[in-house]
Amino acid sequence: MGLTIAQKIIKSHLVSGDMTPGSEIGLKIDQTLTQDATGTMAYLQFEAMGLQRVKTELSVAYIDHNTLQNGFENADDHRFIQTCARKRGVRFSRPGNGICHQVHLERFSVPGKTLIGSDSHTPTCGGMGMLAMGAGGLDVAVAMGGGTYYIPMPKMVRVNLLGKLPAWSAAKDIILEVLRLMTVKGGVGKIVEYAGEGVKTLSVPERATITNMGAELGATTSIFPSDEVTRQFLKAQGREKDWTPLASDDDAAYDEEYTIDLSTLEPLVAQPHMPDNVVKVKEIAGMKINQVCIGSCTNSSLLDMMKVAKILKGRTVHPDVSLSIAPGSKQVLNMLAANGALADMIDAGARILESACGPCIGMGQSPQSAGISLRTFNRNFKGRSGTADAGVYLVSPETAAVSAITGVLTNPADWGEAPEVEMPDSFTVHDNMIELPYSPEEAGEHDIYFGPNIKEVPKGSPLEETIDKKVVLKVGDNITTDHIMPAGAKILPYRSNVPYLSKFCFTVCDENFPERCKEMQGGFIIGGVNYGQGSSREHAALVPLYLGVRAVLAKSFARMHKANLINSGILPLEFVNPDDYDTIDEQDELVLENIREAVKSSDTATVYNKTKDLRYTVSTDFSDRQRAILQAGGCLNYIAAQE
């Protein structure tokens, strides 16, 4: 039987395991990327492992998240990452050079290669035909050191794209439609491949918008074929030699299929507070808006920005609306400046932000109280914008720009002539903001800078025979890592200071959680389905570990968070009977009986609810590697024991 695109890349990078869906496979990783909000931890862990030099084909450290320097912390962390990158053989993308995914797509992505990044939107490079996956910082550190990356072998989903998008419908509308069809948990354990005639009509940046937001499906990754369009894009980036064709075999088998007729797709919008809460723009058009933010790794390419500039040209942003625009990279910003489009944006009243994540991660531009914000981003989780009661709506750049002028959510299709924008034959290439590392000989003479904000990384302890603790928190379905460990301008500077971060853990759900957890000396968390969806941040595991959380019992887990929990030595236990969830309350005392033995050699364990006198069965169906890590009390202990 033939292979899908992803299966071909997996096959050529397989280090261990067999390709049966669900079973653990080990992959050789060609490239890694980190960003600064997860990077400090990743490089601290690289250092903790005592590694000298990266062994990948290419590793890049980007500074794009923590760019608001409201105190010394972020600048110190940047310096730490820069000095570590120089010494350890990692390229360093300086602040101002752009958002990791946009820059990586432009300058480093290569069809057929594997990439892991300490950021959940790493699948953006799937638009280039790469097998690109988000991972916890520790997994990235291990891969940088030449180690294998492990995932459960995913199932394959094919999305057939037919026809061509109508004027005013955009790549963003395609992925919003996929989210509507599959939901935020529909992609868990799966790789989404795009196929069909419609693929050819989409440029690489448009494909990247789609694979970027595949993260919101919970998918392991998403991928497009590498074709003539891909070759043209690489050629325009001066990298035609990196091109290879890549397609699925005609008889490749998929576990699930969807078909979208692009020609019938209308502008869509994801309503608060989940990216799959999708309706047609026309259904809620007319809603008054306070803010429009254009940018993020989903929609900040030159193509997106040129469309926006054309819509804004000669017009003025509505007086009740604040419009901010963050072009995705120095390349994009530079080209906008050179061709005059930037002047059109400025003239219309746009507030131009540096090429970085900015408002997407709550680094400034928080909306007014109960404000309505239209954003071209990928996440609209409650509180993520920095304003707890704001309503964030996710839309295409076209819908965003038109609405910024009218002051109300507007269906661009009702508005006028759609802007025509062509992909350039050549992009402006000047990689002067990507610093090369020292040679191995030079590296020895240089030290790594550790700022005062860097505190010790918490470590787990070996698993006991039995754990007897209370339930410290019970939450519902689709809990995101933004609930567990919020981000934003006030908290992000402390990503290398776990004790400080712990004051904010779960406060979106329950503001007393950190205090209570400390008083009770930790315990268990009870979760619903898709627990830990969203970002790759391992802080959502490290901080609960610091607070004494020993296990999370949930109906199901998101892939990256489950891996991060295991790496931290916190037990992720799935209810075999999901209805058991209903019988547990906060403060119930639970006993994980003979848990060490179960984790070592059994596929299930028994949990005794002492308060209710009930027994539950939970799954301990881990891979041998995961069993060893959990018994050791986390990945760092496990690695240390192997040396």
Q: Tokens 């419009």 label which residue?
A: 323
Listed in sequence order, the DSSP H helices in 340-384 are 341-348
- Angle 539-546/36-48 helices, nearest 10 degrees? 60
119 near ligand MIC (CB under 6 A): yes
Which residues pair with residue 63 across a beta bridge? none
As measured in angstroms, the least distance from the Cβ of 396 to ligand SF4 is 16
Reading the block at residue 352, the tokens are 């131009």
Which residues pair with residue 188 across a beta bridge? 219
Residue 519 CB contacts under 8 Å (≥ 6 apart), including other chains? none
- Complex with ligand MIC: residue 483 or 550, whichever CB lies closer: 483
Tell me which of ligand MIC, ligand SF4, none is bound by residue 99, counting a contact when its beta carbon lies within the kind-specific cut-off of 5 to 8 angstroms. Answer: ligand SF4
Tell me which of ligand MIC, ligand SF4, none is bound by residue 38, counting a contact when its beta carbon lies within the kind-specific cut-off of 5 to 8 angstroms. Answer: ligand MIC
Amino acid (1-letter code) at residue 415: W
- Complex with ligand MIC: residue 7 or 535, whichever CB lies closer: 535
Q: What are the strands of the beta sheet with 31-34, ordered from one edge?
A: 131-134, 114-117, 31-34, 58-62, 91-93, 434-435
487 near ligand MIC (CB under 6 A): yes
What is the spatial distance between Cα 476 and Cα 47, in angstroms, rounded to a whole number? 37
- Complex with ligand MIC: residue 334 or 480, whichever CB lies closer: 480
As measured in angstroms, the least distance from the Cβ of 491 to ligand SF4 is 13
Listed in sequence order, the DSSP H helices in 485-589 are 498-501, 513-519, 539-546, 559-568
304 near ligand MIC (CB under 6 A): no
Enumerate binding residues for ligand SF4 (CB under 6 A): 65, 99, 119, 121, 296-297, 357, 360-361, 377-378
Pick from 29, 37, 294, 467 the residue near ligand MIC by CB under 6 A. 37
User: 454 near 79, Cβ under 8 Å?
Assistant: no
Q: Residue 44 is inside which H or E element, if any?
A: helix 36-48
Tell me which of ligand MIC, ligand SF4, none is bound by residue 330, counting a contact when its beta carbon lies within the kind-specific cut-off of 5 to 8 angstroms. Answer: none
As measured in angstroms, the least distance from the Cβ of 483 to ligand MIC is 12
As measured in angstroms, the least distance from the Cβ of 377 to ligand MIC is 8
Among the listed ranges 50-58, 200-208, 305-313, 535-543, the one in contact with ligand MIC (CB under 6 A) is 535-543
- Complex with ligand SF4: residue 156 or 176, whichever CB lies closer: 176
As measured in angstroms, the least distance from the Cβ of 119 to ligand SF4 is 5
- Complex with ligand SF4: residue 103 or 629, whichever CB lies closer: 103
Question: Three-state SS string across 260-318, please?
Answer: EEHHHCCCEEECCCCCCCEEEHHHHCCCECCEEEECCCCCCCHHHHHHHHHHHCCCCCC
- Complex with ligand MIC: residue 542 or 590, whichever CB lies closer: 542
What is the spatial distance between Cα 523 and Cα 511, in angstroms, rounded to a whole number? 17
As measured in angstroms, the least distance from the Cβ of 456 to ligand SF4 is 26
Tell me which of ligand MIC, ligand SF4, none is bound by residue 537, counting a contact when its beta carbon lies within the kind-specific cut-off of 5 to 8 angstroms. Answer: ligand MIC
34 near ligand MIC (CB under 6 A): no
- Complex with ligand MIC: residue 68 or 573, whichever CB lies closer: 68
Pick from 271, 299, 366, 536 the residue near ligand MIC by CB under 6 A. 536
What is 114-179 written as a DSSP string? Answer: EEEESSTTGGGGGGGT-EEEE--HHHHHHHHTT--EEEEPPEEEEEEEES-PPTT--HHHHHHHHH
Among the listed ranges 41-49, 114-122, 273-281, 318-326, the one in contact with ligand MIC (CB under 6 A) is 114-122
Q: Summarize as ranges the residues that interact with ligand MIC (CB under 6 A).
A: 37-38, 65, 119-121, 134, 361, 487, 535-537
